[in-house]
Each structure stands twice: as C-alpha cells, then as structure tokens.
Amino acid sequence: MSGKRNQRGVGLTDDMKQLSQKLAPTQPLPSRVASILSQEISSGRLKPGDRLPTEHQIAESLGISRNVVREAIAQLRADGLVRARQGAGAFVMEPEERLAIRLDPTDLENIEGMEGLFELRALLEGEAARLATMRRTDDDLAEISAALEDMRGDEKWSEGSIEADLVFHRAIAKATGNSYIHTFVCFICDQIRRSIHMARYANQIEQLVEVNVGEHVVILDALKAGDPEAARAAMVHHITEAGRRIGVILRNEQNNSQQGIAAS
Amino acid sequence: MSGKRNQRGVGLTDDMKQLSQKLAPTQPLPSRVASILSQEISSGRLKPGDRLPTEHQIAESLGISRNVVREAIAQLRADGLVRARQGAGAFVMEPEERLAIRLDPTDLENIEGMEGLFELRALLEGEAARLATMRRTDDDLAEISAALEDMRGDEKWSEGSIEADLVFHRAIAKATGNSYIHTFVCFICDQIRRSIHMARYANQIEQLVEVNVGEHVVILDALKAGDPEAARAAMVHHITEAGRRIGVILRNEQNNSQQGIAAS
DNA sequence: ATGATTATATTTGTCCTACAACCCTACAAC
DNA sequence: GTTGTAGGGTTGTAGGACAAATATAATCAT
C-alpha cells in the first residue's frame, strides 16, 4: 500500500531524494535518511543551532514513516550531531560537541584522501613505535615477534599474511600501554585496509613481500635494541614505502632528516 | 559590557548549559539501551559473530517498547558495531569493521584516562606543529596570531580566553594542510575540554594564564622562525605543562631530551 | 535413504495510531 | 510587572499490524 505520494516537499529539498538513491540503493532505509540529514549538516545548509524539520515533516516529505525518521535521528544523536529536546525539536549541535569520529568512505576513494590518511598513520605509528620501545613488556615483544613470524610463515603473502601484518602494527600500538593510541592506530589501519581491499589490492605485489617483511624486521630489531628513535624512523620509513607501493606518495619533509634512519 | 558584570543570576546563559548537562538525571531511553548493548559487546559477553537477542526479547526483558530497542540498535548499527539482517537477526561485527571512534566519557573521569589522552594529544599536536611550520600559508599564520591576541586580549582568562586557546591549537592543526590531522586534533581537544569543564576546571589557575600565554608565544615564534623541531618541542612542552596544571602528569620519557626545548 | 521442494515459524523492516511528557507562546489574573 | 494557566505543537514511548527475508522443519520425488 502507499499513500506515499509526496507532492509538497515540506522541509527538505528535492536534490536529497536523488542523493538518497545515489548513495546506496541497498542500504537500510534509516541509514539512508541519516546520510541525507548528516549531509545537510556537513554541507552547511543546516548550521549549528538550527532546528531540524519536525519528524512529521521529514517523514511526509520523504514519503516514509515517522519511525524510520526517528531511527535516522537516533544515529545522528549518537554521534553528537544533533540534540533532540522533547517538545522543542531536534537541533544541530556545535562541532565541538561531536563525540564520535567517522570518516567519510568517499574521501578515501581518491589518492589525496589516502595520502592524508597515510601521513597521519605515519605520524601516529612512528610515535607509537618510539613509545613502545621504551615501555614494552616481554609479552608485548613476544606478540610482535609472533606476528612477524606469521607474516613470512606458511601462508606467504596471501590473505593471512596481510592479516598478520596488521597484527604486527596493532601489537606495537598496544605495547605503548596507552589504550587511546591503540584505539586510534587500529581504527586508521582498518580504514586503510578496507579502502585498499575495495580498490585495487593484490595487483603486482608478489615478490615485494620480502621487502615488506624486511622493513618489519628493521622495526623489530630497533625495538629489541631499545633505540626509540631508530624504531620511530624505521616505522615511518616502512609506512612511507608501503604507501608508495600502492601509489600513495607522502611529502618527504618527513622528519627523518635528523639522524637515526641510517641506523640498523 | 561584560567586564565584571556577572555577579550571580545575570549571566545565566553559560551557567545554564553546564547545569542542564550536570543535572540531566536520565539520558534518553534508547541511548541507555544502546549503552547496555554496547557494553555487552565491549565486555566480551557478546563476541563478534554472535547474534543479539531478538528485539522482542530485549524489549520484554527490559520492559520497554520494541520501538526503543530499534532506535538503540540503529545507533549501534551506525557505529558498525552490529549488522542486522532481515529475517535472521542482529550480529556483532568484527572489530575491524567498526567505522567510528567513540570515546567512553567515563574513561575520562579518572586521572589515568586523562593522562592517556594528554599523551596522545601531545604526540599528535607536536607533530602537527612540526608539519605546520613547514607548510603554513600566510593566512594560517595570521589566524594563529589572531588567536593568540584573543588569548591575552580583552577577556583575560575567562571563558572567551580558553576558547581562543582552542582556536590557536585548531588553527595549527589546520595549517598542516591535512584534514585528517585537523579532524583528529579537534576531536581530542574537545574531549579534553569537555572533561575539564565537567570535572574541576577553574580552580586556582588565575595568574598562570600568563605562563600559559607565554608557552603559546614560544610555539608561535618557532613557527615564524621556520624551525620545525623547535615548534614541535614547544608544543609538546606546552601540552605537558598544561596537563600538569590540572593534575595530569605525563611520563617524561617524552623525547624532548634531544634539544630544542631550551630555545627562545 | 537422500536430495530437492514446499510449508511454517521466526525475525527484522516499515507502517500506523495513540497517548504521555515537555516546550513554547499567548493570554488572563493578581 | 509578575505569576498562573491554557492551548497547540513536538518529541518520547507504547503497542499492534503486516510485509519481506531468513532459517528450520516437513514433505515429496527419486
């Protein structure tokens, strides 16, 4: 049944419906509505402090039930994007009030986005390697070593190998003893991994695995030797090279100018 | 206008915000349910791949409507915490599939949590200052300088001053030209700011403002001078000191051992 | 007995209605 | 001018109904 004829767009513009179709035809309805509203906010058409259209208006204007609209708004509320006050309405919150970081997947589909993310990753993981060198426990070291073994072990470069690669990086982040650093590093690595999977992945890597493994060995050696700056430099170098292998080129102002990198 | 005007009862606008947050006794019902479920997951009682109880079961077991349960699950779905398949159920996703970072506010109520966050902040912003020194445009520099002026300007230490402080840090992060760094720095700064507001804030700072401003001047000078490592060291030093002022003590392995810090 | 097919039950997705709680404005009363 | 009150509007919650998709059980053909 459908009285879902929405002649009059009450609160929302028409281009949204086109967007809703374009974004993801197969995503659940509430998520699509949430994307529409969130785009209205990030695009500036809805500024902080503004009140959203009422749930009734949104529902009628999109030809959907108020229930769906409420689920969509629940998602925005969880991100601190809007605050709903009973009886008053839903209001866009200040950017400083956001309590979640969510990366737009479309930003990662082009090279520039990946470059930015790789740079951030190099910063974070470089520092993580430095801290880990000073704070690691023996258990941490064992975990890191085991991951390295898995990398060059049985599976060789296949699916399991790239998983072991991630375990290696995560283990180092965990060895800093700082759960926030661990959380952020894991998040960024996963974002990158998924983007690579989506895009090209597994094109011509083949023999480069040995190079890749070699870079990890340098990191681990520096960690064992207890040389924080060397560990940091090795990690930055590795991530820079890993990016270059898939076409991401970082601006090489990267600090390694000072010293340390020649170490081994 | 606002000089020393606010005895009590007049400047209600700012007070009311704090009060509304502080004495909000109950979060909205769906959010509470989402917290419960999310805790079930992060605590490991629900492992990746497991199926959540049915919406009916959750609703009945908590004595609430299925509508509320659905809104709660909508929030989890938005974070990539669970995936709901029509006809089958809602399943916990792998940690690598998460597509949002959300910090648990309760983790920030104790000193250890704040220490971890301050350490991460020092890492990130230190590197941001270094990059900004190399990449800043003249517009960036103007923005940063303006923020510094606002800091020691009219309002002195009051509410506006701490806002200008944040603007200073955000402007530096933006001057890196990397939107991800900017996003992450903003997020972490806001988290810290809110936690301080909630907890103690504004206890005995008073004259320390001048010290605080002085630290910012050192950062800006290094930026102008084009000395990346000095800028980085100054930023790390500033954040370390800022943390110390509110009782957060960072482990001082902090690299600043090399040089640079004595500069100025 | 085994494999394929069809029922059947379960579960999520969407819609609907209704009412409670609350906010805001306006207006009346003091 | 301040306070109290009434009304309409908006979000919050409840509950029921059905559609759509899935999983499980039963049935049938081979």
The C-alpha atoms of residue B80 and residue A23 are separated, in whole angstroms, by 17
Q: Within 13 Å and on the Cβ side, how many CA atoms surround A62?
A: 28
- Provide, as residue numbers in chain B, all residues whose Cβ is less than 8 Å from the Cβ of A31: 77-78
Number of residues written out for chain B: 264
Any atom of strand C under 7 A from CB of B87? yes
Cβ distance B147 to A206 under 8 Å? no
The pLDDT assigned to A99 comes to: 85
Quote the tokens at residue B243: 């943390």
Structural domain A107-245, CATH architecture: Up-down Bundle (1.20)
The C-alpha atoms of residue B65 and residue B59 are separated, in whole angstroms, by 5
The C-alpha atoms of residue B257 and residue B264 are separated, in whole angstroms, by 16
CATH number of B105-245: 1.20.120.530
Task: Give the Cβ contact number of residue A142 at 10 Å.
Answer: 12
Place of tokens 């690299």: B255
Quote the tokens at residue B38: 């999310």
The C-alpha atoms of residue B239 and residue B122 are separated, in whole angstroms, by 6
Average pLDDT over residues B201-224: 78
Q: Rounded to a whole number, what is the distance in Å from the CA of B72 to chain A's nearest CA? A: 8
The C-alpha atoms of residue B117 and residue B239 are separated, in whole angstroms, by 11
The C-alpha atoms of residue A122 and residue A254 are separated, in whole angstroms, by 9
Burial A11-27 (b: 16+ CB within 10 A, else e): ebeeebbeebeeeeeee
The pLDDT assigned to B97 comes to: 83
CATH of B29-97, one of 1.10.10.10, 3.40.50.1100, 3.40.50.720, 2.120.10.30: 1.10.10.10
Which is higher by pLDDT, A40 or B254?
A: A40
- Provide, as residue numbers in chain B, all residues whose Cβ is less than 8 Å from the Cβ of A183: 101
Cβ distance A108 to A191 under 8 Å? yes
Domain A15-97 has CATH 1.10.10.10: yes
Cβ distance A234 to A212 under 8 Å? no
Q: Rounded to a whole number, what is the distance in Å from the CA of B5 to chain A's nearest CA? A: 26
Q: Which long-range contacts (CB under 8 A, 24 or more apart) does B143-152 make?
A: B143/B171, B143/B174, B143/B175, B144/B168, B144/B171, B144/B172, B144/B175, B144/B220, B144/B223, B145/B220, B147/B171, B148/B213, B148/B216, B148/B217, B148/B220, B151/B212, B151/B213, B151/B216, B152/B209, B152/B210, B152/B213
The pLDDT assigned to B259 comes to: 42
Smallest CA-to-CA distance from A140 within A176, A106, A91, A104 is with A176
The pLDDT assigned to A157 comes to: 55
Q: What is the pLDDT of residues B219-262, one digit of tens each?
A: 999 999 999 999 999 999 999 998 888 888 877 665 544 444 44
Q: Please check the confidence at residue A259 and state whether its pLDDT lies above 50.
A: no
The C-alpha atoms of residue A24 and residue B118 are separated, in whole angstroms, by 39
Q: Rounded to a whole number, what is the distance in Å from the CA of B154 to chain A's nearest CA? A: 23
Query: What percentage of chain A exceeds 90 in pLDDT?
Result: 54
Q: Please check the confidence at residue A58 and state whether its pLDDT lies above 90.
A: yes
Cβ distance B262 to B237 under 8 Å? no
Cβ distance B84 to A28 under 8 Å? yes
The C-alpha atoms of residue B213 and residue B238 are separated, in whole angstroms, by 10
The pLDDT assigned to B159 comes to: 66
Q: How far is the CA of B202 from the C1' of D18 (A)?
A: 58
- Indicate the pLDDT class of residue A112, thresholds 50, 70 and 90: confident
- Provide, as residue numbers in chain A, all residues whose Cβ is less than 8 Å from the Cβ of B68: none
Any atom of strand C under 7 A from CB of A28? yes
Cβ distance A93 to B194 under 8 Å? no
What's the mean pLDDT when you consider all of chain A? 81
Alpha-carbon distances of B133 from B173, B212, B214, B243, rounded to whole Å: 11, 20, 19, 23
Domain boundaries, chain B: 29-97, 105-245
Q: How far is the CA of B84 from the C1' of D29 (A)?
A: 37
- Indicate the pLDDT class of residue B195, thresholds 50, 70 and 90: confident
Longest dimension (CA), chain A: 72
The C-alpha atoms of residue A246 and residue B191 are separated, in whole angstroms, by 34
